[in-house]
Chain A
Amino acid sequence: MLMFALRRILVSIPVLIGITLILFIMLNVVPGDPIALMMKEHASADVIERVRAQMRLDDPLITRYLRFLWDALHGDLGNSIKLNRPVTDLILKAFPNTLMLAVSAALVSWVIGIPVGILSAVRRDSFIDRFFMGFSLLGVSMPIFWSALLLQYIFAMKLELLPVSGFYGWQYMILPAVVLGWSSAGVIARLMRSSLLEVMRLDYIRTARAKGLRETGVITRHALKNALIPVVTIMAIQVAGLLSGAVITEAIFSIPGVGRITVSAISSRDMPLLQGAVLFATVLVIFGNLVADILYSVLDPRIRAQMRKEV
Chain B
Amino acid sequence: MSRSSDLTDAPEALEEASFLRDTLRAFRRNRMAMLGLGFVLLLVLGAIFAPWISPHDPYRVALDEQLLPASTTYWLGTDNFGRDVLTRILYGARISLVVGIVPSLISLSIGTMMGILSGYLGGRTDFVIMRLADMMIAFPSLLLAMVVMYTLGANLLNIFLALALVGWASVARVVRSQTLALREKEFIEAARANGTARVTVMLRHIFPNVIPTLIVLFTLAIPEAIMWESSLSFLGVGVQPPEASWGLLVAKGKEYMFQAPTVAIAPGVAILLTVLAFNFIGDGLRDALDPSMKD
Contact = CB atoms under 8 A, between A and B. Distances in A.
The judgment on whether A and B are partners is yes
B211 interface: no
A26 B247 CA distance: 25
Instruction: Pick from A143, A144, A244, A269 the residue with the most CB of B within 10 Å.
Output: A143
A111 B247 CA distance: 30
Given A19-B139, A137-B276, A286-B138, A146 B271 contact: yes
A145 B275 contact: no
Contact of A141 (B131, B236, B254, B276): B276
A251 to B, nearest CB: 6
Interface residues of B, number: 40
B15 interface: no
Contacts of A138: 272, 276
B22 interface: no
Interface in B230-286: 230-231, 234-237, 247, 250-251, 254, 257-258, 261, 264-265, 268, 271-272, 275-276, 279
A143 B148 contact: no
A157 B235 contact: no
Nearest to B148: A26
A126 to B, nearest CB: 15
A30 B272 contact: no
A145 B257 CA distance: 13
A292 to B, nearest CB: 12
A278 B149 CA distance: 14
Contacts of B152: 31
Contact of A27 (B147, B231, B258): B147
A149 B131 CA distance: 39
Contact of A197 (B230, B264, B271, B295): B295
A145 B131 contact: no
B95 interface: no
B150 interface: yes
Interface residues of A, number: 47
Instruction: Pick from A15, A146, A153, A198 the residue with the most CB of B within 10 Å.
Output: A146
A14 interface: yes
Chain B residues touching A, majority SS = helix
B223 interface: yes
A61 interface: no
Interface in A165-207: 194, 197-198
Contacts of A281: 140, 143
B285 to A, nearest CB: 15
Contacts of B261: 153
Contacts of B264: 146, 149
Contact of B150 (A141, A245, A266): A266
Given A23-B147, A27-B150, A274-B147, A150 B268 contact: yes
A145 B227 CA distance: 10
Contacts of B279: 137, 140-141
25 contacts: A14-B131, A15-B134, A26-B148, A29-B151, A30-B151, A137-B279, A141-B272, A142-B272, A143-B231, A143-B272, A146-B264, A146-B271, A149-B254, A150-B265, A152-B257, A153-B257, A241-B140, A244-B143, A262-B143, A263-B236, A266-B150, A267-B236, A278-B143, A285-B140, A289-B138
Q: Which 5 A-B pairs have the closest CB atoms?
A: A146-B268, A244-B140, A141-B275, A18-B135, A141-B276
